[in-house]
Structures are given as structure tokens and as C-alpha cells.
Structure 1
Amino acid sequence: MWRNRNFLILMFGLAVSSTGLWVGIIGNLEFLQMNVESSFLQALIILAGFLVGIFLAPMAGRIIDRSNKKKILIYAGFARCAAIFFMYLAIAYNNVWWMVVYTLVIGISGTFSQPAMQTMLPLIVKKEELLDANGVNMNIFTASRIVGTALGGVMLVGMSLFSLYTVTLVSYVILLISTFFLDVEEQPKKADLSGKKDNFFRTLRELYPIIKNERKVVYGIFLLIPAYLFLSGFNLMVIEISELQDNAGIKGILYTTEGVCVFVGTFLSKKFFRDNPKLSYMFAITFIIAAAHTSLFLAEHPIMSVLSFGLFGLAAGTLFPVVTTIFQTDVPSDYHGRFFSIKGMVDNIIFQILMLLTGLFLDTIGFHKMVIGFGISSFVIAFVIYYQYKTKSGTKQKDRLAPIK
């Protein structure tokens, strides 16, 4: 894998662009804080890119399945670079509407580029190396998040927002240039001549008969929900824990601990799940995530909060590469674009709903009751899925043992 030229180019581009992305996110928050007083309006502006992605996802998935993935990544790269110039206008004129345009263009670019990259990985990496590749992918994104947020924070102290977004632009240009060096062989796909309009429900109808027979894919989708419960409120919980402990420094410790444990988790996924990602092990990981969420009830104690975030990072670092590998191997390649586009769209919707719920619960019932509620919900979700899995496994076993009449 480490001698695979295409893989190295893709990961190098991902590392540079993801670092720039997180630098840009720090800039987004700073610009909004300076120009928009309402927290609700700030949230709407941030969500604008996600919302446009939701509407475009079905069309994006079909285009990705029918088109050359390299060209899609190149076009998305050009759009990403162009978006920065809208942000320059926003800063120059202190005009939030230019930032809205920037957010929309970035959202459109991500709607095409992220599923295209996940679809391209199985084309450039051998099947037996996919788990390793997804682990590396997750590690790079985690490291980029740590480096990018730290770099953005340092730059804000002594540099202008123009300089900060210039760093982001340079990272996007490097990604775009590196994409041109990819050399991926793809089988030409037949054009869709049906004339039917792309939409969520049509795409779902096409995917449903394919997915319902792939048990690992179905269970993998549902097993991610407890992790989303934790991730969606990640930043809000970090802020709340910092206030509970009256310790601003705990924020950095929690982010770093979670990131380091993600690295360890991806190593464990390669060690124990390379040959056969058993569902029973994945259920155990999901129960660990639920336990990590519930244990935040003791978050006033610095050691317990660090342990909780470390436990989550360990479990998430193991779970996500394994589930992604299952999606890439068990879903037919002709449907990868549509599957990952729809999955990305649904993920965004779930994240936004859960993030709003986290904020609502923190304001109403408080941190402790919220983490207990979310933790118990995660246990219930995991248990119900596990019960369904055992029930169906037992039924199939009986069918195999039943005498033929």
C-alpha cells in the first residue's frame, strides 16, 4: 500500500487540504463572531453548506457513478479554490452575504468530492488493504484537525483573516495540483437515458433492494448512531466540561486525548479486523461508546473526563474504518457514488438534529441528565440491533438444520 503511487498522492492531498480546511473553520468562527451577534444566525450560516449538500446529494451520487472520479475531484478542487475568493470579498467589505456564498460553494464541492474520494479508494487499493487505507484516511483527518485548529488559533493572534484564508487557499491549490497526477483506470459506465429526475426517493428505491440483503451494511449503518450521538455534541460538551471544571486548559487536553486514542483505535482495527470484521465485535465497540458517553456523568473530575474521551476515541477509531471498509466491499461498486452521497446526506441531517438537541438539552435539563439520557439511548440502540442480529442469526441456523420434507 505504501508503494502505491495513487494512494500516496491521494493521502498527501487529503492531509494538506484537511489541515487548510480546519484553519479555514477557525477563520469562519472568528468572522462570524465579529459580524453576527445572533448565535442562531451564526448556526444558520454554518449550516448553509450542509443544506445545499442535502439537496444535491442524489444527483451527485448518480454523476459520480457515471463519471470519471478523477475529473470530479478536479472540478470540485477548482470550486473549492474559487470559494476562497468569495471569502476575501466578505472580509474586505465585512459582508456576511459573501460568506454565505462561500459556504454554499464549499458545501457543493464537498457534496461531490467526499463521496468521489471514498468511491475511488477501492479502485486504487487492493481489497485486502482497504481496512488499512481507511485507517490511514481517518488518522490523517484526525491529525489534520488537531494541527489545523492549533495553527488557526496561533495565526489569529498575530495575523489577519486574509492571511489565514490564504493558507487555506494554498492547501486547496496543492490538493488540486496533486489530483492531476492520479492515474486511475476506470471502466466506462453507460449513460442514464431514462430521463428520470434525480431525487432522494428515487435513489433510495434503487439502493434499497441492493442494501437490504447485505446484513453487515445494514447493521453497520445503525451501529454508527451511538457514535454520532457523541460526535454531534462533541464541541458543546467540551465547552461545558471546561465550565464545570473551571479549567480552560482541559479543552486542549480532551481534544488531544481523543485524537491520540483514535490513532490507537485505527491500529487495533487493522490488527483484529483485517481478515474478518465480525459483527459481534462491532457490537462490543458500540457498547463501549455508550459506556464512554454515560461515564461523562462524572466529568467534573478531570481524570474521568479524559478517560471518557479517550475511551470514545479508542472505540471510534476502531469502528469507523471497519464500517467504511464494509461499505466499500459489500456494496456493489456501480452503486458506490449513490450510496456514499445518500449516506453523507443522511449523516449531515442526523448530525444537525443531534447537535440542536444537544444544545437544547444543555439549556433545559443540564449536562448530567443529558449525557445519562444519551448514554442510555446508545445502550438501547445497540441492544435492539444486537437482539435483531441474534434473532435473525438463530432463525437462519434453524432453517439450515431443519429436515427437508
Structure 2
Amino acid sequence: MWRNRNFLILMFGLAVSSTGLWVGIIGNLEFLQKNVESSFLQALIILAGFLVGIFLAPMAGRIIDRSNKRKILIYAGFARCAAIFFMYLAIAYNNVWWMVVYTLVIGISGTFSQPAMQTMLPLIVKKEELLDANGVNMNIFTASRIVGTALGGVMLVGMSLFAVYTVTLISYVILLISTFFLNVEEKPKETDKSGRKENFFRTLGELYPIVKKQPKVVYGIFLLIPAYLFLAGFNLMVIEISDLQDNPGIKGILYTTEGVCVFIGTFLSKKFFRDNPKLSYMFAITFIIATAHTSLYLADHPVMSILSFGLFGLAAGTLFPVVTTIFQTEVPSDYHGRFFSIKGMVDNIIFQALMLLTGLFLDTIGFFNMVIGFGITSFIIASVILLQYMAKGNRNKRGPVAVTK
């Protein structure tokens, strides 16, 4: 895998662009804190980019399945670079609406680039190396988040927001250039001459019978929900914890702690789940995530907040590479683009709802009641899925019941 030229180019581009992405996210948070007081409105603006993904995902999935993935990544790269100039306008005119345009363009780019990269990985690495590749992918993104947030924080101390987003632009340009060096052989796909428009229900109708036959995929989808409950409000919770402790420095500590624990989690995923990613272990990891969320009730104590984020990072670092590998291996490759696009669309809807809910709860019931409510919800979701899984297992063991007269 480490001698695979395409894989190294893809990971290099991901490392550089992800670092720039997180530098930009720190800039986003700084811009919002200066211009928007309400946590709920901050969440609305952050989520603006996801809205476009909801409408484009079905079309994006079909295009990705039937087009050259490298070209899609190149076009998405151009859009990502162009988006930075809208953020320059937002800063120059101190106008939040230009930031909304920026997030929309970034959202369009992500709607195509993220599923395209996930479908490209199985094309450039061997099947037995997929778990390692997904682990490396997640580790690079996590390392970039640590470096990017630290770099963004340092830059904000003595530099302007223009400089922060210039670093982000440079990283996107490097990613775009590196994409031109990819050389991936793809089998030509048949074009759809039916003339039917792409939409969510048509694509879902095509995917449903495929996914239904793969129980690991179905359970994997639902097991991600408790992790999404935590991730959707990640940035807003970090801001709130910083205010609770009256300590701006805790932001970087929480990001770093969670990131280091993600590294450990991905190592554990490769060690214990390489050959057989058992769902029973996945349930245990989901309960750990619920525990991490609930323990944030003590987040006004620095040590407890660090432990909570560390526990979540450990569990998430184990869960996500394994579940992604299940999706890539269990779903037929001809449906990868549509599957990952629809999954990304559903993820966006979930993230929108949960982030808006997080912002609303922070403004109304407060941080402590919110984390207890979300934590209990995670426990309930994991328990219901586990009981259903156990009941199905018991039915399979009993087999068909003989009918006697």
C-alpha cells in the first residue's frame, strides 16, 4: 500500500487540504463569534452549505458512478478554490451573507469530492488493504485537524482573517495540482439513456434492495447515529465548554486530545477488526460513545471534559474505519457512487437537524441538560438496535419451525 503511487498522492492531497480546511474552520468560528451572537444562528450559517448537498446528492451519485472520478475531483477542486474568494468578500465587507455563499460553494464541492474519493479508494488499493487505507485516511484527517486548528489559533493571535483563509486557499491549490497526477484505470460505464431525472426516491429505490441484502451495512448505518449526535455539535460544544471554564486554551486541548485518541482507535481497529469486523464489538463501541456524551455533564471541570473528548475519540477512531470498510466491501462497486452520495445526503440532513438542535438547546435548556438528553438518547438508540440484532440472531439459530398436525 505504501508503494502505491495513487494512494500516496491521494493521501498527500488529503493531508494538505484537510490542514487548510481546519485552519479555515477556525477562521469561520472567529468570524461568527464576532458577527453572530446566537448559537442557533451560528449553527444555521455553518449548515448552509449542507442544504445544497441534499438536492445534489442523487445526481452526484449517478455522475460519480458513470464518470471518471479523477475529473470529478479536479472540478470539485476548482470550486473549492473559488469559494475562498467569497470569504474574502465576507471579511472585507463584514457581511455574513458572503460567508453563506462561501459555505454553499464548499457544500457543492464536498457533495461531489467526498463520495468520489470514497469510491476511488477501492479502485487503487487491494481489498485486503481497505481497512488499513481507511484507517490511514482517518488518521491523516485527524492529524490535519490537530495541526490545522493549532495553526489557525496561532495565526489568529497575530494575523488577520485574510491571512488565515489565504493558507486555506494555498492548501486547496496544492490538492488540485496533486489530483492531476493521479492515474487510475476505470472500466467504462454504460450511460443512462432513459431520460429520467435523478432524484432521491429513484436512487433510493435502486439502492434499497441491494442494501437490504447486506445486514452488516444496515446495522453499520444505524450504529453511526450516536456518533453523529456527538459530532454534529462538536464545534458548538467546544465553544460552550471554553466559556464554562473561562479558558480559551481548552479549545486546542480538546481538539488535540480527541485527535490523539482517534489515532489510538484506528490502531485498535486494524489490530482487532482486520479479518472479521464483528457487529457485537461495534455495539460496545457505540455504548462507549454514549458514555462519553453523558459524561460531558461534568465538562465544567477541565480534566473531565478532556476525558470525555478522549473517550469519544478512542471509540470514533475504531468505529468509523471499520464501518466505512464494511460499506466499501459489502455494497457492490457499481453502486458505490450512489450509495456514498445518498449516505452523504442523509448524513447532511442528520447533521443539519442535530446541529440546529444543539444550537437551540444551548440557547434554551442549557449545556448540561442538553448533553444528558443526547447521552440518554444515544443509549436508547444503541440498546434498541442491539435488542433487534439479538432477536434476529435468535430467530436464525432456531431456524424454520416444523408444522405438525
State if a TM-score over 0.5 links the two structures. Answer: yes
Query: Which residue of 2 is the match for residue 271 of structure 1?
Result: 271
Q: How does 1:106-145 map to 2 (within 5 A)?
A: 106-145=106-145
1:223 Cα offset (Å)? 0.3
SS in 2 for 1:276: coil
Runs of 4+ in 1 over 6 A off after TM superposition: 400-405
1:310 alignment partner AA: G
Give distance in 1, aligned partners of 2:187 and 2:63.
14
Q: Which residue of 2 aligns with 1:3?
A: 3
Question: Unpaired segments of 5 or more residues in structure 2?
Answer: none
Matched, 1:193 2:188: no
What corresponds to 1:166 in structure 2?
A: 166
**TM-score normalised by structure 2 residue count:** 0.94
Separation in structure 1 between the aligned mates of residue 98 and residue 309 of structure 2, nearest angstrom: 37
Please tell me the residue identity of whatever aligns with 2:204.
L
How many angstroms apart in 1 are the aligned matches of 2:215 and 2:314?
25
> Could you state the TM-score of these two structures normalised by the residue count of structure 1?
0.94
Question: Structure 1 residue 33: deviation in Å?
Answer: 4.4
2:308: which partner in 1? Answer: 308
Aligned to 2:16: 16
Separation in 2, partners of 1:311, 1:113: 30
How does 1:311-390 map onto structure 2 within 5 Å? 311-390=311-390
1:387 Cα offset (Å):
1.0
Whole-Å Cα distance in 1 between the matches of residues 301 and 39 of structure 2? 29
What is residue 258 of structure 2 aligned with on the other side? 258
Within 2, Cα distance between the matches of 1:94 and 1:369?
A: 34
Does the 8 A contact of 2:285 with 2:315 survive in 1?
yes
Letter in 2 for 1:311: L
- 2:87 corresponds in structure 1 to 87
Q: Which residue of 1 aligns with 2:297?
A: 297
CA distance in 2: counterparts of 1:240 and 1:226, whole angstroms? 20
Alpha-carbon deviations, 1:351-376, whole Å to 9, x = none?
A: 12112222223333333332222222
CA-CA distance at 1:95 after TM superposition: 4.4
CA RMSD of aligned residues (A): 2.1
C-alpha distance in 2 between matches for 1:305 and 1:77: 36
Does the Cα contact within 8 Å between 2:39 and 2:363 map onto a contact in 1? no
- Structure-1 residue corresponding to 2:59: 59
TM-aligned CA distance change 1:402 to 1:244, over 3 Å: farther
Q: Secondary structure at the match of 1:190?
A: coil
Identity %: 88
Moved more, 292-301 or 253-262: 292-301
Can you list the C-alpha shifts for 1:105-138, whole angstroms capped at 9, x where unaligned? 2111111000000010000011111111111111
* 1:255/1:86 CA distance change after superposition, 3 Å: closer
Letter paired with 1:171: S
Residues 97 and 382 (structure 1 numbering): CA distance in 2 closer, same or farther, change over 3 Å? closer
Instruction: Name structure 1 gaps, 5 residues minimum.
Output: none
Amino acid aligned to 1:135 = G
Letter in 1 for 2:364: T
Matching residue of 2:211 = 211
User: Residues 148-194 of structure 1, C-alpha deviation per residue, up to 9 Å, x if partnerless?
Assistant: 12212222222233322221111111111111111111110000111
CA contact (8 A) 2:40 2:360 kept: no
> How far apart in 2 are the matches of 1:191 and 1:371?
48
Distance 2:403 2:3 in 1: 53
Distance (Å, rounded) in 2 between the aligned partners of 1:214 and 1:257: 35
**In the alignment, is residue 231 of structure 1 matched against residue 238 of structure 2?**
no
